[in-house]
Amino acid sequence: MLDWLTSIQFPDGGYQGGHIRSEPRVPVTFNTGQILLGLASGVTEFGEVYAEAMSRAGNWLVDTQDADGCWRKYPTPFASPGEKAYETHVAWGLFEAARVGPESRFVGAAIANIRWALRYQRDNGWFDNCCLTDPLHPLTHTLGYVLRGILEAYRYTEEPIYLRAAQRTADAVVKTVRDDGYLPGRLTADWTPAVSWVCLTGSAQIAHCLLMLHAWTGEFRYLRAALSLNRFVRRTILLTGPQELRGAVKGSYPIDGAYGAFEFLDWACKFMIDANVLEHEVTQQSSATPHLSGLRNEVAPNQ
């Protein structure tokens, strides 16, 4: 996969958006940031063979960033126009590249974007301009993106301002998650449901973020909600039946929901794996604590 990605990189370091055959074929900030995560991981796992591609992608992001920290020059043509707070997920890619091969300009650009995005956070944790198509009713998918980017800023810098910002959003989301793990796929600015279906990708992303927060703060409200979210997503996955459907994760639940309607999404599966790996790590590390074991059994028995 990494070899294929390096083969399609634009000469200036960027990557296209959409499907491989999508038109127009233009470099896109968001996609480049996501691929940068993979390239940085590739350098860690396999060595310097991917270092040049990683450096080119990171430098392209730095060079195309506006002075205020926002990326406006290369938006995806497959979403509505306008600034996107969820591109904090791009900043995460720069943090990871900086860890592999320290680049002060990568860190500076990443922090600049996080600070820019926090201008759009309201006192109740809500983020304006945080959706692909409907900023008034953003997907939990894109809310998961913005939250993860801020958490990664805290993980890299250990500056409390980023932890507090992440907690404002997480605390609001936790109150929206039902005991059975149901989280509406789109929300309004007062954190009430905007739709009746679940965006499974967003649920998995947010579960992962809440597990990170629990690990750092010890707050059990984050763990309880994360376990419920993960359990909900797991219960939608077929473990028997046609081979091509076993283990696949739907875009929405029910499957006719408006996000990835009637589709199984590779990124939904990826985020589900991430969240469940972290759940396993967090609960195993704390398995000696009786009340944690009881909580996991209470929230997710035999699932």
Output the domain CATH number for residue 38: 1.50.10.20
**Which has the higher per-residue pLDDT, 302 or 38?**
38
127 part of a folded domain: no
pLDDT score for 303: 52
pLDDT score for 104: 82
**Number of helices followed by number of strands (H, E) in the chain:** 11, 2
Question: Domain total for the chain?
Answer: 2
Q: Are residues 69 and 163 both part of a single domain?
A: no
Strands (E), 178-253: 198-199, 252-253
Of the pLDDT bands very low, low, confident and very high (cuts 50, 70, 90), residue 19 is confident
87 part of a folded domain: yes
Q: Are residues 103 and 138 both part of a single domain?
A: no
pLDDT digits (tens, 9 = 90+) for 131-186: 999 999 999 999 999 999 999 999 999 999 999 999 999 999 999 999 999 999 99
Q: Are residues 61 and 15 both part of a single domain?
A: yes
Q: Are residues 109 and 211 both part of a single domain?
A: no
pLDDT score for 299: 56
157 part of a folded domain: yes
What are the φ/ψ torsions at residue 139 (nearest 5 degrees)?
Answer: -70, 145
Q: Are residues 71 and 163 both part of a single domain?
A: no
pLDDT digits (tens, 9 = 90+) for 181-221: 999 999 999 999 999 999 999 999 999 999 999 999 999 99
Q: Are residues 149 and 172 both part of a single domain?
A: yes
Q: Which residues constitute the domain of residue 3?
A: 1-119
pLDDT score for 96: 97
- Closest C-alpha among 56, 85, 53 to residue 70: 85
55 part of a folded domain: yes
pLDDT score for 195: 98
Q: Are residues 100 and 239 both part of a single domain?
A: no
Q: Are residues 26 and 159 both part of a single domain?
A: no
Task: Answer with the one of 63, 86, 119 that is the final residue of a domain.
Answer: 119
Q: Are residues 114 and 189 both part of a single domain?
A: no
Asked if the model's pLDDT at residue 274 lies above 80, the reply is: yes
pLDDT score for 289: 54
Task: Answer with the one of 95, 119, 143 that is the final residue of a domain.
Answer: 119
Of the pLDDT bands very low, low, confident and very high (cuts 50, 70, 90), residue 227 is very high
Of the pLDDT bands very low, low, confident and very high (cuts 50, 70, 90), residue 101 is confident
- Closest C-alpha among 195, 199, 178, 181 to residue 250: 199
Asked if the model's pLDDT at residue 248 lies above 60, the reply is: yes
pLDDT score for 301: 44
22 exposure class (CB count in 10 Å sphere: 0-12, 13-18, 19+): middle
Which of the residue ranges 13-27, 152-166, 267-281 would you say has the lowest mean pLDDT? 13-27
Q: Are residues 73 and 156 both part of a single domain?
A: no
pLDDT digits (tens, 9 = 90+) for 48-67: 999 999 999 999 999 999 99
For the chain, the straight-line distance linking the first and the last C-alpha, in angstroms and rounded, comes to 31
Counting residues of the chain whose pLDDT is more than 70, the rounded percentage is 94
Asked if the model's pLDDT at residue 300 lies above 60, the reply is: no
pLDDT score for 102: 74
124 part of a folded domain: no
Of the pLDDT bands very low, low, confident and very high (cuts 50, 70, 90), residue 126 is very high
206 part of a folded domain: yes
Q: Which residues pair with 253 in a beta bridge?
A: 198
Q: Are residues 181 and 273 both part of a single domain?
A: yes
**In contact, 186 and 199? CB cutoff 8 Å:** yes
Asked if the model's pLDDT at residue 290 lies above 50, the reply is: no
Q: Are residues 29 and 65 both part of a single domain?
A: yes
Distance (Å, rounded) from C-alpha 55 to C-alpha 47?
13
Task: Answer with the one of 119, 143, 173 that is the final residue of a domain.
Answer: 119
129 part of a folded domain: no
Quickly count: other Cβ atoms within 10 Å of residue 268's Cβ.
28
**In contact, 15 and 27? CB cutoff 8 Å:** yes
What are the φ/ψ torsions at residue 33 (nearest 5 degrees)?
Answer: -65, -35
226 part of a folded domain: yes
